Chains A and B, each alone.
Chain A
Amino acid sequence: MERLNASQEPMIKLDNIVVKFGDFTALHDINIEVKEGEFFTFLGPSGCGKTTTLRTLTGFIEPYEGRVYVRGEDITDVPIEKRNIGIVFQSYALFPTMTVYDNIAFGLKVKKMKKDEIDEKVRAIAAKVDLSDEQLKKAVSQLSGGQQQRVAIARALVTEPAIICLDEPLSNLDAKLRVQLREELKKMQREFGITSIYVTHDQEEALTLSDRIAVFNKGVIEQIGTPNDIYNHSQTEFVCNFIGDINKLSEDIVTRLTLKGADIDPTWNHYVRLERIHVNEDQRPGVLTVKGKVDSREYYGLYIKYYIDLGSQLIKVMERNDGVHIYDPGDEVTINIDPADLMSYPPKEEAAE
């Protein structure tokens, strides 16, 4: 994180934001601080409030309570167009009746810049996002999904905003293109060094792109942290379930772990990630070894996912595919569960207290 600005003043500060739509409270007391140059992601399922938070920051939604600060200045009452925040929309929102050039130049024309200046800026930004002169003359409908995304980014960046907000910009694309553009997006963000707010419901996107992530659920923030914090040290049961695949251990396994001497509360819910369990590994002190039978398997190429029947529960295991140790359904196997790998949470009632 060296490249982040060491300044104490956060680039963006959302201070106790509450948003209401009639009687419904969409955001409950949201507090976020984003550093300059940071790639910050709002992650969560549909309807969790991540886009509402983004729209509050960009000015499309007025908060019921709380203030929005950029570089320490209160912009809560500043109109959208004067916030100096660029947006890349989910649908890209490229103007279909304008050429690529006119789309990028729109914001500059609105600012009534000189024609030469506009031309210079449009061509410079187009070159940076890899759009050719030929492509600038085209209608946006003539471009591929990836090229359209680049136009949307160029349009958002050409006015030199302090912040860029990206609202699920990859959600409309196919899986392969999504991965490809994800890499390009990260590269571009690094080149421009601009503070970026990224909204997504895709945990993989969030983990691969972000410096830090805020996980939303039902209008509240469950956890803010680095991808590693979020994945390996999930603070809430929701975060641990939402991020990645996970096994919830049955009462039987939990009891066997405590008998083995593990320092865990048997009344809590205990989880273990798939890649932390291994098949037919040597027994280790303090580690629980359980016998089971391979129920089925899913082949992913790099990995193989096994569903192993332990009697009291079906447990998922993700093993690296070495081409040698491959188990068939029906094979008798053992698995090791290390108490150090567990993520534990109090039951809901207790958590509520």
Chain B
Amino acid sequence: MTNTLKRKPMDATLAFRIIGGLFFAYLFFGFMLVPCLDTLTSIFTTKDANGNVDPFAVIRFFLAGNMGKYVLNSLKLAVLLVITVNVVGISIVLLTEYFDIKGAKILRLGYMTTMIYSGVALVTGYMFLYAGDGIMTTALKDAFPEMNTSWFSGFNAVLFTMTFACTSNHMLFLRNAIRGIDYNTVEAARNMGASPFKVLFKVVFPTLLPTLFSLTVMTFITGLCAMSAPTLLGYDSINPEIVRLAGSSTADEAFPQARAALLSIILAMFTIILLTVLSRYERKGHYLSVSKTKAKLQKQKITNPVANVLAHIYAYVLFIIYMTPVVMIIIFSFRSWESVKARKLSSGSWTLLNFFGSQDYQYTASSGKIKVREGAISGMFSNKDTISGIQTSFVLSVIAAALACAIVVIACNYIFKHKKKGAVLEYALLFPWLLPTILICYSYRIFFNSDSVWYVFNQNLYYEDRVRILIVLAYMVVKLPFSLRMIKASFYAIDDELEDAAKNLGSGPLKTFIRVKLPIILPSVLAVFALNFNALFTEYDMSATFNSTNGRTYAMVIQSMVQDEGLSYTNLNASGRRCASTVFIMVVSGLILYLVYGVGARDLSERLAIKERRRKRLEKLKKTFAGKDKKAEAEG
């Protein structure tokens, strides 16, 4: 052994750690804490008419004016949503996983449709059906001419739409929980004489309670922070009001920015309280099965014939509610503008114009002259606005999703190696979870709309194209907690001995990370990237808060198509294009979910098996052709 074998000084690692530490401090203080603190302080630095600081002016305004209405409305929505979402969510999970219902597989697909389209796409889909000029309302109007066509608006419409939009989490988490139940416990209860419903309430439900509690808190927060449904369906809740106030000026009303800040902080307070309650509850522990050999849950037959029929009817009514908007949107995306405008299949024709190509529109003006409006009918892939929205959303989402994943992977690598310091870093990255996205975006919009923020080199990030940097930063920060939770879980799969083995075989830290650890966590990282992208690509709340023409995302373009509908001579097929856009979103989301849960979940042995099958098929094909060639030669 020579002296060259002695340990090298740790300069490179130390430098890497210092740079990493500075980066995470910059990220936390610069883009999480400082902008939000600025929003908080803005509440107490309002100036009166004489220019004197009046710390409690906004709070007095809140107590005296009608600002409380927005908070109460949001709370009302959140509370009722918890009830309706849980009723529907638990129903659909029980109907597809616990009870023996005929056609459960098809029903499940129907109930899962909200996983491939949500937000603005879903709300506009429901509007397409139930709004004043919607398909269902039009059909009902024909049958009952006296009916109130604007029935689908305000609170009831928001509650209805969000009830069905927010059951995706139930289909993901509650379904997993119910599938994890040990069937032996059900059999034991039945063996002791309990009826199927007694088993459900006394054995099954108690094991689902922790999941249900988490889902309830998540639903409450969703209701409280609702944005697209109240905005599009017209309901005065906190978030749309924040966005309105953010765009307002002191010339129009009293201290709008400070009022928006106060509402954001109120929202943050609710979120913090709820998440604290949730994490305390989660810490108490879950009811895990203590069986050594778990038995797979078998579906329960509803023995009472009347209850069985009623359960089937209920299951299929829910299926129709879930499926109708999807089916109608797909059908109408292939219909010509006349058909879409009339909301009837009887008029117009089948077309691909909502997707591809464009057409001029010829009409007779009031003067009697025949006029041509060029390109008034255009497909989503030919429409400049839509393409620009897709491009913007695509680029911003890819960058933000990738950045969030990269930051979290580096952070997790550190967290797993350094328990104490790692915990500080982990809490810093989970911090945005406590803040409503709207508070983050609002804070960014106000704080960075200035050229005196030194740590971004005195650049106004809300100015012109730079707003895109701001959107990427907001997207990334908002996605950090989710990415951390998911990717951290995948790091647990790395056995400490793997790293030791690589080290022992001569591999340095970077090489070990790239060649040993990264391939193990890569499927999870890619899955998180895809899920982040999926959520951001059709995201509306954040871009609406930024509300900048330079950062006009796909969801904002879809929303504008709703407004364009009346302008018949310029944007004739706005609704058709909207249907096509929703179909496009469904395809993209479906594809991503397939890649994540289908292809991405395969391990090396499955991939090798597929490769082997392909090789054999190719060989067989070659042999077949070689055989044919020989035959042909022989015949020749």
Name A residues whose Cβ lies closer than 8 Å to a Cβ of B: 58, 60, 70, 73-75, 77-82, 85-87, 89-91, 93, 95-99, 106-107, 110-111, 137-142, 155, 159
Contact = CB atoms under 8 A, between A and B. Distances in A.
B608 A139 contact: yes
Contacts of A89: 497, 500-501
A342 B3 CA distance: 54
A86 B504 contact: yes
Contacts of A91: 495, 497
Interface stretch (B48-56, B216-224, B456-464, B505-513): B505-513
B505 A81 contact: yes
A117 to B, nearest CB: 16
A106 B504 CA distance: 11
Contacts of B504: 58, 80-81, 85-87
Given A106-B505, A107-B505, A99 B497 contact: no
Interface in B599-628: 603-605, 608
Contacts of A81: 503-508
A167 to B, nearest CB: 8
A229 B6 CA distance: 39
A30 to B, nearest CB: 21
A139 B603 CA distance: 9
A303 B501 CA distance: 42
Contacts of A87: 500-501, 504
Interface of B: 1, 5-8, 495, 497-498, 500-508, 511, 515-516, 519-520, 522, 603-605, 608
A79 B497 contact: no
26 contacts: A70-B1, A73-B1, A75-B1, A77-B7, A78-B1, A78-B5, A79-B5, A81-B504, A82-B506, A85-B504, A89-B497, A89-B501, A91-B495, A93-B497, A93-B500, A98-B519, A98-B604, A99-B604, A106-B502, A106-B507, A107-B505, A111-B506, A138-B608, A139-B603, A155-B501, A155-B505
Looking at chain B's contact residues, is the secondary structure mostly helix, strand, loop, or mixed?
Answer: helix
B604 A96 contact: yes
A155 B508 CA distance: 17
Contacts of A140: 604
Contacts of A111: 506
Given A82-B506, A139-B605, A140-B604, 18 more contacts: A60-B500, A75-B5, A77-B6, A77-B7, A78-B1, A80-B504, A81-B506, A85-B504, A93-B495, A93-B497, A95-B498, A96-B520, A97-B520, A98-B604, A106-B502, A106-B507, A106-B515, A110-B505
Nearest to A108: B505
Contacts of A142: 605, 608
Contacts of B516: 95, 97
Contacts of B507: 81, 106, 110
B140 to A, nearest CB: 58
B190 to A, nearest CB: 35
A125 to B, nearest CB: 14
Contacts of A97: 516, 519-520, 522, 604
Given A90-B497, A91-B497, A93-B495, A141 B1 contact: no
A335 B122 CA distance: 87
Nearest to B611: A137
A107 B502 CA distance: 8
A87 B519 CA distance: 22
A137 B608 contact: yes
B408 to A, nearest CB: 20
A159 B7 CA distance: 21
Contacts of A80: 503-504
A111 to B, nearest CB: 6
Contacts of A75: 1, 5
Contacts of B608: 99, 137-139, 142
Nearest to A79: B7
Contacts of B5: 75, 78-79, 82
Nearest to B603: A141
A137 B605 CA distance: 10
